[in-house]
Structure formats: structure tokens, C-alpha cells
Amino acid sequence: MASPRGFSTSWVLFSSSVVVFATLCAAISPYAPGLSENFYAKSCPQAAEIVEHYVTAYLKKDSTFAGAFNRLQFHDCWVGGCDGSVLLNSTATNSAEREAHVNFGLRGIKEVDEIKAALEYACPGVVSCADILILAARDATVKAGGPWWPVALGRKDASESVDLLADGNLPFPVFPFPLLVQNFARKNFSAREMVVLSGAHTIGQTHCNGVLPHLYNFTGGNNATDIDPAMYKGFATFLKKLCPQGNRTNTLFIDSTAGKFDNAYYKNVLANKGIFITDSTLITNSLGKKLVTSFAKAKSSFFEEFAAGMVKMGNLGVLTGSQGEIRKQCQFVNHK
């Protein structure tokens, strides 16, 4: 039988090992402090199932919601963090993020509110709007044929939303490669991660508003035939039929395999068929072209890195614990 002294020493060593192991696990966690995959395990165990049910129903009616839910996560997280601020309505004294120029044509707000209503019925005051956006983006991607990734939850909702912050943080569709790199670097994302996350356009839909600078007056010389020279002329002719000069509201798909999450986006960009300037600019840089070529050949690599990028994005500026609130309706702050 071991002596009490020996037992004590062993216990100290064991305890120290546990502390070291726990510290290491915390250090390598891919999630921001306060977030966990089982955050709602006791308070609302059916939360993820409810979100998935509604996302499935929306995509069955309209597959373009896959891109809409992806866009909502990006446009939320990139402006002050993943706090649901993109969902808030403007007030008499404040113009919210949704009114920003860069958020033109933003979709899915009403659908997120419907999901929120279902969660409020099942678990009142528990699941945040910010977490709904994260879950919906992941589920929509998977159902469109894309990769799955683990989702950590526990975010709180912001009570403020300002349009100028959106226009000052989100990349505009006319950004050239250097500006895109700078924009992503401000959020601690590399040029490689920028090219990877641009791949979300594979399930995207856009209004002509973002395409017109490609097709008319590209160099600013007030010439209607001034097309982006990086665009394949036959493709430009095709796009002009969909987007006549001055028409900002017609819609078109960004990818040739509309509604399917795959690597066709990169193949299109390589063929000089990028819809936005931010797409075509990816191959104007040697690193960008190398990455686009690589992802056009290897879908599995794109999927793996895209999933990692979405997890990383979900950590941006999160409100947890006593910060923020759990909004009862996603478009309105709670009444104090």
C-alpha cells in the first residue's frame, strides 16, 4: 500500500497535469472566450435543430437564401463583431447598418425574425440573434453542398447599429486586390483567407448595382462602352443584357452553378468571368492567381479552409456574459 506521503505526491503531480492540460486546451481553442459548442445544452437543447428546420424550409422554397444567410454572417461580423447589429432597424434618430450603401439588397432579415420567434416560443429569452446568424450560415452552406463546421455559441446581441460603420468596414464590390488585402488584414485575416472567403460567392446572388462598374465607364471617362479589360468580352456582352446601363435592381447569379456550393467560382474567375471587380481582381496579383488556380483544382482544400475561415470569423468582437442582451425581436432592441 502506498504511504500517505506517496499518495500526496502523486495527487499533486496529477493535479498539476490536469491544470497544464486544461491550460493547453484553452490555449488552442478555436473559439473566443465565453463561446462553446454546448452553450445551449441545458437552456435550449433544441436550438440548433429549430434553426436547421427553418433554414431547410427556406432553401426548399428559394435556394438563393443559402447565399443570403452567408452574406448576413459576413456583413454582421465584419462591422463591430458578430453581435446581430446588422439586423436592427433604423430609428428616427439613427440610420442603421442595413441602410449602408454596401448593404444594398441585403436579404434574410424577415426569415431570421421568423426563426427567432420560434426560438422565443421554445426557449424565451435564451438564444441570441447573433447566434442564429452563425447557425443559419453554416446550415445553409451544408445544405447547398458545402462543408460543415462546428459552431460555438453564447454570443449576446448589440443594442447599436450605425450605417457609417458598415460602409467604413465592409469591402465594396469595386475594391482592387491591395484594398481587399488591407480590409481583411484589419480583422486579422490573411490574403489567403481573403481569397478563401471570397469563395462564398459560389452561392451568391447580386443586384446589378454591384456589377455596373464592371460594364460601363470602368475608367471614369464617361464612356458607356468602357468595359473592365480584365473581363472576357463575350461574358461582358452577356451581362449587359441582364444589366442594362442604369439598371441597379435586376438580379443575377454570381456563379455559373447557381445555388450549389462548389469551386466553380474560382474556375469562373480564372476564365475572366468574375461578376464583381473584387472577383476579377483576385487574379491580377501573383499570390491571388496562384490561390485561385489551386482552389479551382482542389475543391477539398477550398472546403477545408473555408470552414476554418468561417469559424474564425465567428469569433470577431463577440459580446458574452454580462455584455449585450438577448433581443426578443431581432430588428428591435429590448425596451428598458
| Predicted confidence (pLDDT) per residue in 67-108, tens digit | 999 999 999 999 999 999 999 999 999 999 999 999 998 999
Q: Across the strands, what pairs with 205?
A: 253
Confidence at residue 13, expressed as pLDDT on a 0 to 100 scale: 44
Q: Does 257 belong to an annotated binding site?
A: yes
Angle between helices 47-61 and 65-77 (to 10 degrees): 130
Picking from 282, 88, 249, 256, the residue whose alpha carbon sits closest to that of residue 171 is 282
Does residue 3 register a pLDDT over 90?
A: no
Confidence at residue 208, expressed as pLDDT on a 0 to 100 scale: 86
Average pLDDT in the 104-119 region? 96
Q: Does 97 belong to an annotated binding site?
A: yes
**Catalytic residue numbers, as ranges:** 75
Does residue 15 register a pLDDT over 80?
A: no
Confidence at residue 5, expressed as pLDDT on a 0 to 100 scale: 46
Q: Across the strands, what pairs with 157?
A: 325
Does residue 61 register a pLDDT over 90?
A: yes
Most confident of 13-27, 178-192, 210-224: 178-192
Residue-wise pLDDT for 296-308, tens only, equals: 999 999 999 999 9
Q: What percent of the chain has pLDDT over 70?
A: 90
Strands 205-207 and 251-253: antiparallel
- What gap in Å lies between CA 300 and CA 148, rounded to an integer? 12
- What gap in Å lies between CA 197 and CA 36, rounded to an integer? 23
Q: What percent of the chain has pLDDT over 90?
A: 71
Confidence at residue 19, expressed as pLDDT on a 0 to 100 scale: 44
Does residue 267 contact residue 163 with C-beta atoms inside 8 Å? no
Does residue 157 contact residue 326 with C-beta atoms inside 8 Å? yes
Picking from 210, 185, 326, the residue whose alpha carbon sits closest to that of residue 279 is 210
Does residue 209 register a pLDDT over 80?
A: yes
Confidence at residue 336, expressed as pLDDT on a 0 to 100 scale: 64
Does residue 80 contact residue 71 with C-beta atoms inside 8 Å? no
Does residue 129 contact residue 324 with C-beta atoms inside 8 Å? no
- What gap in Å lies between CA 132 and CA 126, rounded to an integer? 11
Sequential DSSP letters for 318-330: ---TTSSB--SBT
Average pLDDT in the 149-156 region? 98
Picking from 250, 237, 149, 236, the residue whose alpha carbon sits closest to that of residue 207 is 250
Confidence at residue 188, expressed as pLDDT on a 0 to 100 scale: 98
Average pLDDT in the 38-56 region? 98
Does residue 254 register a pLDDT over 60?
A: yes
Average pLDDT in the 235-261 region? 85
Q: How confident is residue 7, by pLDDT bands cut at 50, 70 and 90?
A: very low
- What gap in Å lies between CA 270 and CA 267, rounded to an integer? 5
Does residue 176 register a pLDDT over 90?
A: yes
Please report which residue ranges of 170-298 form alpha helices under DSSP H: 177-185, 191-198, 212-215, 233-242, 264-270, 277-280, 286-297
Q: Does 237 belong to an annotated binding site?
A: no
Strand, helix or coil at 91? strand
Identify the DSSP state of 252: E
Mean pLDDT value across the chain: 89
Q: Does 226 belong to an annotated binding site?
A: no
Exposed/middle/buried for residue 252 (C-beta within 10 Å: 0-12, 13-18, 19+):
middle
Average pLDDT in the 184-191 region? 98
Residue-wise pLDDT for 210-235, tens only, equals: 888 888 878 776 567 788 887 888 88
Q: Does 23 belong to an annotated binding site?
A: no
Exposed/middle/buried for residue 96 (C-beta within 10 Å: 0-12, 13-18, 19+):
buried
